Amino acid sequence: MNQILENIKSRRSIRAFTDEPIDPVDLDRILEAGLWAPSARGLQTWQFTVLTDRTRISELAVAIAEQLQRDPSRYTMYEPTALILASNDRENHNGMLDCSCALQNMFLAAHSLGLGSVWINQLRGICDEAGIRPILDSLGIPPNHLVWGMAALGHPAGPAPEPPPRKGVVHYVK
Ligand SMILES: Cc1cc2nc3c(=O)[nH]c(=O)nc-3n(C[C@H](O)[C@H](O)[C@H](O)COP(=O)(O)O)c2cc1C
């Protein structure tokens, strides 16, 4: 099997990370993979906002937990060493889809570099809440943007989980 197909199949969502920071060169590579994702009409109206300060990541997790009335001691976004917030112009009807393509590119790039990643989904419905938007402002996320997904990244703290079985729904029409 070629390396790209092998990388796609062996990637798993990783939900525990060591304290070791990600090499900035590797982080740049991951972000570049996001920038090379397809986007509808090639608009690329997205922004990838990168946090590497764990205190900031933790503050964001606490704000999300409070907004969603979750237990902040349990909702930590898995304490990654880096977090990428993929946002897009709210007027772009394909903004979520474009960000999804970019996030998957970044997950695969991270895996190819020996790093772990997982999608964090809880921000997308609450970006404009009073407890959240000022934080997004402070991170430099444009006010016309919605965060469609986040990538938690870091060095895996343990082995990857067993792959969940594939539920095959491929249907060839002859
Ligand atoms: C749109 C989307 C949202 C997700 N949200 C979360 C999330 O908020 N937290 C989490 O731990 N995993 C999240 N995941 C990861 C899935 O749980 C994971 O991809 C799935 O269980 C399959 O496992 P695998 O990625 O190891 O193949 C999300 C995945 C997708 C595609």
Q: What is the Å distance from ligand 1's center to 14 Cα?
A: 9
What pTM does this model have? 0.98
Q: Atom 27 (ligand 1): residue with closest C-alpha?
A: 12
In a domain, 102, yes or no: yes
Q: How many domains does the chain have?
A: 1
In a domain, 169, yes or no: no
In a domain, 13, yes or no: no
Packed helices 95-112 and 24-35: angle between N→C axes, nearest 10 degrees: 140
The minimum-distance atom of ligand 1 relative to the CA of 14 is 26
Q: Residue 168: pLDDT above 90?
A: no
CB atoms within 10 A of CB 139: 15
In a domain, 166, yes or no: no
In a domain, 4, yes or no: no
* E-state strands within the chain: 46-51, 82-89, 116-120, 145-154
Over residues 38-65, the pLDDT tens digits come to 999 999 999 999 999 999 999 999 999 9
Q: Atom 5 (ligand 1): residue with closest C-alpha?
A: 121
Cα separation of 123 and 33, whole Å? 22
Phi and psi at residue 13, in whole multiples of 5°?
-70, 130
The minimum-distance atom of ligand 1 relative to the CA of 122 is 8
Q: What is the Å distance from ligand 1's center to 118 Cα?
A: 6
Residue in 103, 118, 123, 150 to alter for ligand 1 test, most ligand atoms within 8 A of Cβ? 118
What domain range includes position 102?
A: 21-154
The minimum-distance atom of ligand 1 relative to the CA of 12 is 26
In a domain, 9, yes or no: no
Q: Minimal CA–CA distance to 98: which of 109, 89, 110, 107? A: 89
Confidence band for 1, pLDDT divided at 50, 70 and 90: confident
Q: Write the CATH number for 147.
A: 3.40.109.10
In a domain, 163, yes or no: no
Over residues 119-149, the pLDDT tens digits come to 999 999 999 999 999 999 999 999 999 999 9
Residue 44 to residues 27, 37, 39, 102, Cα–Cα distance (Å): 20, 9, 6, 10
In a domain, 14, yes or no: no
More confident residue, 55 or 168: 55
Give the mean pLDDT of the chain: 97
Residues with CB under 6 A from ligand 1: 12-13, 15, 118-122, 164
Over residues 75-115, the pLDDT tens digits come to 999 999 999 999 999 999 999 999 999 999 999 999 999 99
Place of tokens 């959240």: 132
